[in-house]
Structure 1
Amino acid sequence: MSQATEFTAQQNDASFDNIWQELLWRGLIQVSTDQAELEKTLSTESVTYYCGFDPTAASLHLGHLVQLLLMRRLQLAGHKPLALVGGSTGMIGDPRPTTERSMQTKEQVAEWVADIQAQVQPFLSFEGDNAARMVNNLDWTAPMSAIDFLREVGKHYRVGTMIKKDIVASRLNSDEGISYAEFSYQILQGLDFLELFRQYGCTLQTGGSDQWGNLTSGTELIRKAAGGSVHAIGTPLITNSDGTKFGKSEGNAIWLNPKMTSPYEFYQFWLNTADADVAERLRIFTFRSRQEIEELARATEERPHERAAQKALAWDVNSLVHGVEATEKVIAASAAIFGNGELSDLDESTLRAATAELPHTEVAQSGLGIVELLVASALVDSNSAARRTIAEGGAYVNNRKVTDADAVIDPTALLHGRYLLVRRGKRTMAIVEVLGG
């Protein structure tokens, strides 16, 4: 994962009275403990806070990005972040609403812990007076015996309260039920907050509002076991204006790992944001000021065809997650695909990502005639149609117009020794992979 943009480019909006007011305006507070007390504390003290990330996959996704940016905004306001990657909770996994998670091996979880830690690190500053700290809950759960866990932690929990938590209640009412392992997850998360409270004076936990039961598990445990008063913030679950789940397309998550969602796909995801959603996305996922976002919102209303807000959103978020250089490559790739740049300048992974949704054809040999190539790509359905397209000036290979129907493709024209971008007219394209190239 590339480094995030320079921290000097990130700042909170000075037009707000305090960080709490900005978080409210950005739509980042769905539920919390005492709001008045939180606003006062965050405005007058340096608070140590944490957010947990369980390694249940090799990468974080867009839901986690909300938390990472919330953490960064709080750090910019002078507060001290603890980024917890759950080496122990990741072995159990927080309960899903409908089905039990598949347990991973300890070795797999440890590998994913390292992956997630590497993803989290660029979003926070680990230097200065309020430097971030990376923590792993395996450090305090692994040495604890089952008896110690039950005596020191379990005794503070009441089963009647635990089964009323939304996720637990949902699973209890399902055909599958819930295992004791997943049922106990809220205790493990409560233990995390207690341990961070004791070790680092942590008094605030953030997470998604769907985790509210787990968040309050910690606040209650600290009250009972340590006599402490702490806070929790639950961010809203983000949905599109049409009610569909944000960040999902046909069941596929948008990952932060560029090997799982390429920078090109990531950029296009943001660029394709609906007009009705773009202002909200700018508030949540960028560091643009209130004035800038309001100006972009007006531009969307007055000149929607320009898509200025979507371009700003895609640039900012892609640059934040994958770096400015990767974003510039993505934009260059988009231009090159439509003839406004050199395809040969694109690295292979960017070319593949940029053409991933085009029709793809494999041919066994190089040196194809242009007529054969047009037919093989399925852009035309016959040799005569191919010749007619060429005669009318509508045939292109790698953005170069082909005017000779008897022309043969030079093997040196293959992009990265194997690809040809074939185009009919302005926008009808296919990618041909020459296996014997």
Structure 2
Amino acid sequence: MSDLLARHRAVMPNWLALYYNEPIEIVSGKGNRVVDANGKSYLDFFAGILTNMIGYDVAEVRDAVERQIATGVVHTSTVYLLRGQVELAEKIARLSGIPDAKVFFTNSGTEANETALLLATYARKTDQILAMRQSYHGRSFGTVAVTSNRSWKNNSLSPLNVHFLHGADRHLTQFRGMSDEQYIAACVDDLRHVLATAVGGDVAAIIAEPIQGVGGFTMAPDGLFRAYQEVLAEQGILFISDEVQTGWGRTGSSFFGIQNHGVTPDMMTFAKGLGNGFAVGGVVARGDLMDNLHAVGLATFGGNPVAMAAANATLDYVLDHDLQANAAKTGAIIIDGLREAAPRLPVVGDVRGKGLMFAVELVGPDGSPSPELAAKFMEETKKLGLLAGKGGLYGHTIRMAPPLTLTEEEAREGLGIIVTALESL
């Protein structure tokens, strides 16, 4: 493994992060567990950054992909009809609830968000965008502009004119102790003030994650985005919901994260879990917005036949097995268990989550964020056989999102490992 690590460091960029003091190579997987090159097994609570949505070695997905490969056609591009692409778009358009919806497929969430920003700025004829503080929307030039986390921004150059809003930052002094209603009212006041002072002329759209992924699963209280949408609608400002991490029933309480707020957005972006590991992303938007562009467009690899076979099989599996309900049930076991344990664990600053998307903030004796404890937690859970992820504005948040196929027994097993690791800290 040390040889592979040395080879990695020789040819891969230094900024390509690796977890653990001794990084692992995952060589096999089955169900919700993976095995590394040393033969050690792990219960996977990070799922390839929320991407292996229904676990590993799923027969339905494997068979669908093998059938497509057996045809000899793994690529044609979008200049030809693609049956699997049309079938998947029909399902997503129906599930989205967006009127007269149309779908465009990409290879990633970054590409999907770039497309949504293009659609919005073109439709509204302005480069002004509203985004949320602590957000993350991708690593490309445009998506970095709407990302509000200094750790993920290489420069301030931008093709967009962006203004950042409150909504997931209740830890700030001015918001502490507020009820949900009071916090929503304060954020709406701030939105109106931004629209009255910071912008010049029309604004194209707001782009927001219902639950902030890289931000450490911080989230606005349910109803905030409905209140925002009511204000934005007064000026015709569009709403883009970034569902790259919150889509497909992961929150348990709704199929898309924005639905927890009672909002039907103008566009939703998606990626990650839809292909259960195969590269697929996209935008589902109002038909008039999608059709509005005047220039010719295509996607060479977006929506390719193999990815579409995997995505159709994955989405069918999620719906046929009601994995949204399973996320609600198994997520409650873990989140409730963590909240019950938190009062006796002084290193825990906060526990939050919805469904199978939950996080633990780690803090020092004075209550300040502790990325050092987060790093120690990662090493402890690795020893105990569980894979987790890190995030948060200060790198002190453990974020976890197991496959939606997690069983109740595995939920309790994972909870036990997490609590044991926290106790060891």
State the structure with more CA Rg.
Answer: 1
TM over 0.5: no
Report 1 or 2 for greater relative contact order, CA contacts < 8 Å, sequence distance ≥ 6.
2
Larger strand share, 1 or 2: 2
Quickly name the TM-score band, shorter chain normalised.
Answer: under 0.3
Q: TM-score, normalised by structure 2?
A: 0.25
